[in-house]
A and B are shown apart, each in its own frame.
Chain A
Amino acid sequence: MWIPAGRSWWRGRALAPWASGPARPRLPWSRPAPTHAVATDPRAPSRPYGSAELKETPDMSRFPVEDIRNFSIIAHVDHGKSTLADRLLELTGTIEKTTNNKQVLDKLQVERERGITVKAQTASLFYSFGGKQYLLNLIDTPGHVDFSYEVSRSLSACQGVLLVVDANEGIQAQTVANFFLAFEAQLSVIPVINKIDLKNADPERVEKQIEKVFDIPSEECIKISAKLGTNVESVLHAVIERIPPPKVHRNNPLKALVFDSTFDQYRGVIANVALFDGMVSKGDKIVSAHTLKTYEVNEVGILVPNEQSTHKLYAGQVGYLIAGMKTVTEAQIGDTLYLHKHPVEPLPGFKSAKPMVFAGMYPIDQSEYNNLKSAIEKLTLNDSSVTVHRDSSLALGAGWRLGFLGLLHMEVFNQRLEQEYNASVILTTPTVPYKAVLASAKLIKVVKYLIPLCMSTNRELHKGVKVAEKLYFLKKMCNLLGSIMAIISSSFLLASFDYEDAGYQTAELVKMDILLNGNIVEELTTVVHKDKAYSVGKTICERLKDSLPRQLFEIAIQASIGSKVIARETVKAYRKNVLAKCYGGDITRKMKLLKRQAEGKKKLRKIGNIEVPKDAFIKVLKTQPNK
């Protein structure tokens, strides 16, 4: 068995000696008495990039396994996960209680703009209950179906979940999907009925629903209003009372699961870890079970919700670890870390998420290729569900073929590239994989079919079987190339689905080109079912018409199969585009506007002499309501 102090001394690394002392009865935040070694040791902990929020370094040895609860909040979109998380953070003093705490755990700009959670976040909460201080590790999870892999990953570090259900809307598709994820992982489920303050709230009906669908007695439901803070405290009590502590051992050798990772350009890979056994501290030599590479730990800490370094992390705890991993391939999510020379049985890890939608991604300018490459590499490290293969196109040059979990996922990825890496890209039509046997130049015969399993709240949508009030279950086969895009898109917020491979089936397909003033738009070339070519072509032309800005000449938009034009739309030329009033001397504003537009013009892609905004194609491919 390892003696922590001895190990630290033995390695002589930059770990302050008081950090590795035996557990002393003190509060987690209390500053340890400075020792001689600290005062003189130049290697005393100074972390240029560490969180500056808390001056004292918490002593994590204060929390034995039985005082730890690891839990997640799962819910359908908009049922109030993030609001409840905000309240829990406030209640435990993790963040200050102000009116400005909205989506505290949603750190990405895209999350705040769209009001969704994309990336799971972790926060360690300290809470006193029954005369004892507990360490509660909260892992916020995304609600949208596209990001359900994030949920299952987060659950692997938990022993229980709060299943939040809207008191007005009741059980929705993602509620069911998330419940089963938790149920299969054998986690304790605490149902929380939220938004009881709403006028149309009907918590009793929702209680009955929960009893019927999930077989959880209605008296176990906690009724709260996260917005107003009503009854939130009892949620914390339930977490402590109903969720078991993790079944792990501090005295076993280290076994840590990497359940998420982020990339920081200054510090390299920051791995979020859950300790199943043992402990880890700065200076330890650790090994990745996946790559067998050895690393030295530079920093460990907890997330509160920003990074707060600690001396150690112990079994059952959740936190982060920085160990000089620099390249994207080194920090595999699902990997197990163990101490050098003390190998352990690796944890099962994760099934990698299956991409559903594939699209080409190209730099707007080929000179941007390398920048974009590194941006994609960094972003995929934070989002490993995206698959990346190199690709190239005649029109667009070198690029990649990326696999996404859905269209929202694709959009979010694109938006993050723009916002976080300032990268502008061209995305091509999302498609699904298929095998083609060329019958002639324009006829393709074989196509892959997939079977989606859909759960929907909208009976009209898929003609499902009623499971509970306002909830339907259905199993329907559908042609991936045609209607699945419609189902995936229309089921945003309405349905959740899973899919399985149904093998290949034969179909008659044609290649359809889209032309702008006679020039083929490579990005929009699609393979469609012969019977659907006309309607698909017509829709693409109509949408393109709506998303192409007027220019100084007329634009003919055509869909064609071979040389046969099957649909056509026209964008008329500008007749007037000049600001009437341009004096009173205020030229500055006008010049600014013109220059901003000129800057934007530079970024447009040219097809022939037609200028096409880069989001035009995304707009064309996105399913719009009533279309």
Chain B
Amino acid sequence: MGLSGARARSWVAVTKVAQRRHLVDRTGESPSPEPATRRAALYVHWPYCQKRCSYCNFNKYIARGGPEEEALRSCLVTEARTLLRLSGVRRIESVFFGGGTPSLASPHTVAAVLEAVAQAAYLPADSEVTLEANPTSAPGPRLAAFGAAGVNRLSIGLQSLDDTELQLLGRTHSASDALQTLAEARRLFPGRVSVDLMLGLPAQKAGPWLRQLQELLCHCDDHLSLYQLSLERGTSLFTQAQQGILPAPDPELAAEMYQEGRTVLREAGFRQYEVSNFARNGALSTHNWTYWQCGQYLGIGPGAHGRFVPQGVEDHPREARIQTLEPDHWMKEVKLFGHGTRKRVPLSKLELLEECVALGLRTDVGITHQHWQQFEPQLTLWDVFGASTEVKDLLEQGLLLLDHRGLRCSWEGLAVLDSLLLTLLLRLQEVWQQRTPVPGGWSAVPVSQDKARQT
């Protein structure tokens, strides 16, 4: 396992070549030679922002001065190494720098994390390495430096092409900043730039928003995400809407924007491969695809989430892990223990299947029979959902499809997935409780008991 130092250090150089290769639709590609528990995606959380956006309730802190970054960098590197060791993951298939505003980090930090990963595991040269970028913190030369550090995909938090809306959202950039950054990014990372566009803002109208989308289509690359604004507790937009200073977003109007937006994108040749993600020319995000396919992922950095099977114990269940939220505490723990994991929750097999359903159905492919079988070899999708009258109702209404390929949402069904999931999850629980227990199967029993039973 592992690569020589020389091989690892040359990783950045190799990626430069790979980056220019034509990209193929990687979904449905034959799995890599490593077994599933030896593969994972890696999420890196950069916790700082320049300014608090009025809608964001993520784990972020207002950026501080430079010298601190060195400490944070060394902790990210340490934690990456530790979690790779604990998980026994040998191959990292993608890396995602999210935040916060990771484009505020120095490219050196990005490079250091990637080098550390390449030293401890196999990081294929063509692995997707995405960085979330904020238009104002990412001028051209800086983006190029990130490219030199190993980033090969950018996700730009553009949010809107209307300056008034950008102000309302508390963004630091203007529409023209955003378009300029987008142009630079496309020049540097052709075919590998994504933009976010929000819908359902207070006072936003469908017509003008669709014109924004049309304008964006003239400038954007092959990947686009549409998000409906959700007012989260603790954000300033939430407070303003509560106090009646701002009109509360109209869900009916947002639904209309979403439907019309996805229609426009379909006509423009984009595939809606997930609830809010659209790609053409096969430019899907492999990193996020891993989440939706219930793959393993390691999360490093303050408040990062992970899902993986710890190494060493046969038949150990997958764990949901959360790192310590607050950056200073997190750093202290990383320095003391090598990682800042705050919470480890073993997932029962039923919980894993529930995640598999809830996340899988967000994609256009849905849950294929092959995919389901990897998680549940005993009961087929037909066994679980085929006989339920409630599920049959959904199939008859044309919201859900269950056929030789698997279980998936229809175009109409995808927009109301959360309603469908309630029926599906209840059905899954019901069938799961009735099944005859399989000896040796996973259970929600604590680790120590599991171990004791096997010896």
| Interface residues of A, Cβ cutoff 8 Å to B | 551-553, 574-588, 590-591, 594-595, 597-598, 601-602, 609
Contact = CB atoms under 8 A, between A and B. Distances in A.
Interface stretch (B214-222, B254-262, B367-375, B432-440): B254-262
17 contacts: A576-B255, A577-B419, A578-B414, A580-B226, A580-B228, A584-B58, A584-B98, A585-B297, A587-B291, A587-B307, A587-B355, A587-B359, A591-B355, A591-B358, A595-B425, A598-B426, A609-B393
B428 to A, nearest CB: 10
Contacts of A602: 426
A585 B255 contact: no
Contact of B307 (A552, A575, A585): A585
B305 A576 contact: no
A585 B306 contact: yes
Interface in B207-230: 226-228, 230
Given A553-B397, A578-B275, A602-B426, A585 B415 contact: no
Q: Is the interface of B mostly helix, strand, loop or mixed?
A: helix
A572 to B, nearest CB: 8
B304 A581 contact: no
B362 interface: yes
Interface in B225-267: 226-228, 230, 251-252, 254-256, 258-259
B417 A577 contact: yes
A578 B420 CA distance: 10
Nearest to A586: B305
Contacts of A552: 394, 397, 399, 416, 419-420
A576 B276 contact: no
A584 B394 CA distance: 30
Given A580-B226, A581-B276, A584-B58, A590 B426 contact: no
Contact of B291 (A585, A588, A591): A585
B43 interface: yes
B122 to A, nearest CB: 22
A577 to B, nearest CB: 5
Interface in B309-329: 320, 322
Contacts of B70: none
Interface string B333-362: 000000000000100000100110011001
B447 interface: no
B424 to A, nearest CB: 9
Contacts of A586: 305
Interface string B392-425: 0110010100000000000000111111111101
A574 B416 contact: yes
B299 interface: yes
B443 interface: no
Contacts of A594: 358, 418, 421-422, 425
Contacts of A574: 416, 419
A251 B259 CA distance: 86
Nearest to B257: A576
Interface in B58-103: 58, 98
B180 interface: no
Contacts of B397: 552-553
Contacts of A591: 351, 354-355, 358
B136 interface: no
B37 interface: no
A595 B397 CA distance: 23
Nearest to A582: B362
A552 B417 CA distance: 10
B172 interface: no
A578 B418 contact: yes
A597 B422 contact: yes
A577 B416 contact: yes
Counting chain B CB atoms within 10 Å of each CB, the highest count among A551, A576, A595, A598 belongs to A576
Contacts of A584: 43, 58, 98, 305
B288 interface: yes
Counting chain B CB atoms within 10 Å of each CB, the highest count among A578, A587, A597 belongs to A578
Given A552-B397, A598-B426, A588 B320 contact: yes
B388 to A, nearest CB: 13
